[in-house]
């Protein structure tokens, strides 16, 4: 019971974690997430609970996490609780336990009951400056480091340079506080930065399967909100563009390899975040006659979510279709297994 009270009383920390911005004074409204509507500035009122009159997000800390993480408040409450504890640095065993992080050789006690005046996710990112970390590391990369990418069909050097993609031990680039605690973290040598407003806001860590097959294939940095890769295309695409929607990062890079625009969800559960952004940019997408091609994995889950996204897009009047990849697990496997057929299907999709 104490844990729930702490989480409910820490709604400001939850909002800051998810990138919402407080007003200049306590009496002014907050700025909601820009991927939920076109006019987020001052749209969100905050008392004991929140309410954004424009996009409809409202409720307490648990409701905020449920909406942003695309979880069901009843069915997924255990996951919501776990995420809240992670955000607030609460111990799983003791809700009153304080954790400390080290900055400039000083231990800073993080107490979820404190007011927002010690440290926030924003401060953490500024301190470690992921953009700077990635920029410095990219200068040490050579073409031979990208052998794994080349084997996966990602051979366009311009794509690797555009996103400043790295292929090295993440422990040499990313601060340890932001890395998942894995015994084989050294095997996650594929580091794909997620860019937003010309800054790195997260990184996708993809395991090199030639080095290890333990643990999940993909992780994101700890303590930072999950972001969709290349979501900005929805507001920056050109006239008559086709944007490919993929589930995995290597599927996304497979299209980018051929000069196409592609968005990676990172997880099918992020589809609502995608739809929110499509609705925000609805008029722009229609005016530019932009079409979305859905290319999720070919398993049962991927097909189900592809149909859901297709139907939702049709309801709001956005042109879209599903790319058929029968016989292959995903887009990247298609490219690696039969490059000529993949290129033929890609040209067919563009026509």
97 against 283, higher pLDDT: 283
Give the pTM: 0.78
Q: Convert the pLDDT of each residue in 282-315 to its tens digit.
A: 999 999 999 999 999 999 999 999 999 999 999 9
- Alpha-carbon distance of 204 to 167, in angstroms, equals 12
For 2-102, give the CATH class: alpha beta
Give percent helix, percent strand, percent coil of the chain, each to the nearest 5: 40, 15, 45
Strand partners, 147: none
With a cut of 70, say whether residue 91 has pLDDT above it: no
User: Helices 300-315 and 271-280 sit at what angle, rounded to 10 degrees?
Assistant: 20
What pLDDT, on the 0 to 100 scale, is given for residue 160? 96
The rounded mean pLDDT for the chain is 86
For residues 266, 269, 271 and 272, what is the CA-based torsion angle, rounded to 10 degrees?
-130
Q: Convert the pLDDT of each residue in 223-281 to its tens digit.
A: 788 889 999 999 999 999 999 999 999 999 999 999 999 999 988 888 988 999 999 99
Task: Please provide the size of the chain in residues.
Answer: 351
What pLDDT, on the 0 to 100 scale, is given for residue 126? 64
Domain 233-350, CATH: 3.40.1360.10
With a cut of 80, say whether residue 37 has pLDDT above it: no
Q: Convert the pLDDT of each residue in 172-225 to its tens digit.
A: 999 998 999 999 999 999 999 999 888 999 999 999 999 999 999 999 998 788
Average pLDDT of the residues in 122-150: 86
> Which of left, alpha, beta for 59 (phi over 0: left; psi -120 to 50: alpha)?
left
Which residues, other chains included, contact 226 with Cβ-Cβ below 8 Å and sequence gap of 6+? 69, 202, 220, 266, 267, 270
Average pLDDT of the residues in 79-101: 64
Contact assessment for residue 301 and residue 265, using Cβ atoms and an 8 Å cutoff: no
Write down the domain spans for the chain: 2-102, 141-220, 233-350
Closest residue by Cα to residue 155 from 342, 322, 297, 327: 342
CA separation (Å) from 168 to 121, 187, 333?
A: 26, 9, 23
Strands 199-206 and 320-322, sheet pairing: unpaired
CA separation (Å) from 230 to 75, 246, 297, 309?
A: 30, 11, 18, 17
Q: Convert the pLDDT of each residue in 163-176 to its tens digit.
A: 999 999 999 999 99
Judge whether 2-102 and 233-350 match in fold: no
Closest residue by Cα to residue 3 from 86, 68, 76, 74: 86
| SS3 track for 263-314 | EECCCHHHHHHHHHHHHHCHHHHHHCCCEEEEECCCCHHHHHHHHHHHHHHH
Strand partners, 44: 30, 52
- Alpha-carbon distance of 15 to 190, in angstroms, equals 30
């Amino acid at each position: 019971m104490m844990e729930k009270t702490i989480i409910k009383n820490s709604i400001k920390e939850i909002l800051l974690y998810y990138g919402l911005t407080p007003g200049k004074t306590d009496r002014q409204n907050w700025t909601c997430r820009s991927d939920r509507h076109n006019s987020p500035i001052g749209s969100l009122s905050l008392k004991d609970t929140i309410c954004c009159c424009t996009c409809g997000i409202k409720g307490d800390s648990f409701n905020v996490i449920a909406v942003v993480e695309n979880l069901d408040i009843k069915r997924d409450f255990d996951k919501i609780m776990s995420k809240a504890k992670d955000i607030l640095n609460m111990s799983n065993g003791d809700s009153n336990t304080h954790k400390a992080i080290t900055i400039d050789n000083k231990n800073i006690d993080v107490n979820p009951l404190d007011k927002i005046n010690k440290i926030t996710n924003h401060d953490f990112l500024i301190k470690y400056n992921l953009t700077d970390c990635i920029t410095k590391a990219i200068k040490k990369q050579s073409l031979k480091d990208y052998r794994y990418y080349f084997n996966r069909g990602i051979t366009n050097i311009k794509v690797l340079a555009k996103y400043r993609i790295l292929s090295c031990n993440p422990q040499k680039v990313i601060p340890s506080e932001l890395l998942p605690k894995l015994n084989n973290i050294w095997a996650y040598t594929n580091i794909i930065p997620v860019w937003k407003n010309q800054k790195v806001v997260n990184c996708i860590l993809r395991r090199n399967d030639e080095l290890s097959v333990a643990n999940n294939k993909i992780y994101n940095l700890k303590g930072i909100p999950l972001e969709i890769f290349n979501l900005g295309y929805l507001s920056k695409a050109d006239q008559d563009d086709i944007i490919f929607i993929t589930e995995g990062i290597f599927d996304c890079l497979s299209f980018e390899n051929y000069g196409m625009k592609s968005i990676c969800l990172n997880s099918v559960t992020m589809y609502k975040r995608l739809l929110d952004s499509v609705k925000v940019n609805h008029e722009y997408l229609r005016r530019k006659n932009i079409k979305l091609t859905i290319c999720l994995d070919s398993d049962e889950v991927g097909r189900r979510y592809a149909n859901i996204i297709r139907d939702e897009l049709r309801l709001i009047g956005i042109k879209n279709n599903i790319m058929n990849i029968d016989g292959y697990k995903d887009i990247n496997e298609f490219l690696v297994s039969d490059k000529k057929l993949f290129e033929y299907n890609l040209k067919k999709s563009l026509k």
